[in-house]
Structure 1
Amino acid sequence: MTKNLDPITSFDFLDRLKSQTTAAHRKLESLPLSASILSPKMKLEEYCHYLSLMYDVHYSTQEIIFPLLKDLIPDLKEREKTQLIEEDLSFLNCKKSKTTSVFINQDITIPFALGIFYVVEGSSLGGRFILKNLETIPGLDQQKGVSYFTGYGNKTGSYWKNFLNILSVYNEQHNAEDEIIEGAVYAFECIYNHFLNTVRNEN
């Protein structure tokens, strides 16, 4: 039987998780590529590059993280994003020649994996905000090429809350806060390095 969740304990944990990852999150957002996605002057080649890099992030997540969390998160299949990015890249006639592994920690535990997934799933919330800008860009203003950022649509909030509940219950049952936070910081750092070190036009 699932343990009843203490809402105060849950809030404290999630608040600490957010605060402990703020610096890494801001560092990622400070990259020119991260900023470009929010610019009304964004170019489609920048968008293609961004999508290509995020494909790597989600591919790594599905290959490495999903198997560790399959018994914890019942709707994992619905949270796959690679096919959405493939649709957008196809619409934009952008070719991706190779896939790069983003998460290479060889001994990822379940709580560490939950921290990584916290970052990856959290990007769906930001995606809804980014979508508003994308829909003003010529070539993306007909609701085409934005499948990834559309994501869960109007269910985005409920998907996020459901995951946070699972995360909080796991932490309360396993006292895994430190490892979860470590996983989240690791995810931000890995994505930052991937964005920083991968040049445009891989092929």
Structure 2
Amino acid sequence: MIVIDTPEATRSQRLKAATRDSHGALDKRIMAGDIFASRDLFATFLRVQYRFHRDIDALYGNPALDALLPDLDERRRLPLIARDLADLEQTLPLPTSTRLDGDLPLPAALGWLYVAEGSNLGGTVLYKMAARLGLDSNFGARHLAAHPDGAARHWREFTAALDGVALTEAQEQQVIDAADAAFRSVHGHVEEEFA
């Protein structure tokens, strides 16, 4: 068991512990939407994914972040989600005011990207479940497919880079606050789309 109050815990381990409640509540809410009962319900989940990834898309084009995090631009999933929605004959959700600026302060950007990249890791489980609906990496579930190098390895590369960024104690808290805000933002999208 990891004790998160010690210097031995990594930033990603502290983030996981600090956001456990908001992450868990989000997962439960999404699964309560029975997203694998039909393609229409899965499309509702895709709309949530699209809204969140549209909100953070500018971060993937930030050169300063790209210098710190491996293959950041290649990690963008917004175009894949748009294609998944098109496969299911869905229109793209309308823009909202929650879109983040690409020049978000570093600690906040790291918190939001932690949530996005973590969802990529969790997406491998959802990908297997999407197969029940006839969805895969060529149709409807592109954005959930694992990276060719493997989802776990891709995640470890990201967290190693995340953990290696030098931050002050105050900035550490800003990363946690931003990650929590990201989970709450996705939860808000879920409530709107599943209403």
Q: Is the TM value for this pair above 0.5?
A: yes
Rounded to whole Å, the distance in 1 between the matches of 2:180 and 2:124 is 22
2:191 aligned to 185, 189, 196, which one? Answer: 196
State the SS of the aligned residue for 1:75. coil
In structure 2, give the amino acid aligned to 1:191. Answer: V
Residue 97 of structure 1, CA deviation: 4.9
Tell me which residue corresponds to 1:182. Answer: 177
Tell me which residue corresponds to 1:57. Answer: 52
Counterparts of 1:24-103 in structure 2 under 5 Å? 24-31=22-29, 33-36=30-33, 39=36, 42-64=37-59, 66-67=61-62, 69-103=65-99
Work out whether residues 121 and 160 of structure 1, in 8 Å CA contact, stay in contact via their aligned partners in 2: yes
Q: Deviations over 1:120-148 (max 9, x none)?
A: 110011100011111012x4279521101
Rounded to whole Å, the distance in 2 between the matches of 1:198 and 1:131 is 20
Structure 2 CA distance for partners of 1:101 and 1:163, relative to 1, 3 Å: farther
Rounded to whole Å, the distance in 2 between the matches of 1:10 and 1:66 is 32
4+ residue runs of structure 1 moved beyond 4 angstroms?
103-107
Work out whether residues 66 and 73 of structure 2, in 8 Å CA contact, stay in contact via their aligned partners in 1: no
2:110 aligned to 108, 114, 123, which one? Answer: 114
Any unmatched runs of 5+ in structure 2?
Answer: 1-5
In structure 2, give the amino acid aligned to 1:178. Answer: Q
In structure 2, give the amino acid aligned to 1:110. Answer: L
Residue 73 of structure 1, CA deviation: 2.1
Tell me which residue corresponds to 2:122. Answer: 126
Rounded to whole Å, the distance in 2 between the matches of 1:76 and 1:49 is 27
Rounded to whole Å, the distance in 1 between the matches of 2:19 and 2:93 is 32
Any unmatched runs of 5+ in structure 1?
Answer: 1-7
- Length, aligned pairs only: 187
Residue 71 of structure 1, CA deviation: 3.0
TM-score, normalised to structure 2's length? 0.82
Rounded to whole Å, the distance in 2 between the matches of 1:161 and 1:85 is 23
Structure 2 CA distance for partners of 1:141 and 1:123, relative to 1, 3 Å: closer
Tell me which residue corresponds to 1:160. Answer: 155
Work out whether residues 28 and 192 of structure 1, in 8 Å CA contact, stay in contact via their aligned partners in 2: yes
State the SS of the aligned residue for 1:70. helix
Structure 2 CA distance for partners of 1:97 and 1:61, relative to 1, 3 Å: closer
In structure 2, give the amino acid aligned to 1:174. Answer: L
State the SS of the aligned residue for 2:94. coil
Q: Percent identity?
A: 27
Q: CA RMSD in A?
A: 2.7
Rounded to whole Å, the distance in 2 between the matches of 1:78 and 1:26 is 27
Rounded to whole Å, the distance in 2 between the matches of 1:97 and 1:116 is 20
Q: Deviations over 1:44-64 (max 9, x none)?
A: 111111111211111111125
TM-score, normalised to structure 1's length? 0.79
State the SS of the aligned residue for 1:144. coil
Work out whether residues 38 and 130 of structure 1, in 8 Å CA contact, stay in contact via their aligned partners in 2: no
Work out whether residues 43 and 90 of structure 2, in 8 Å CA contact, stay in contact via their aligned partners in 1: yes
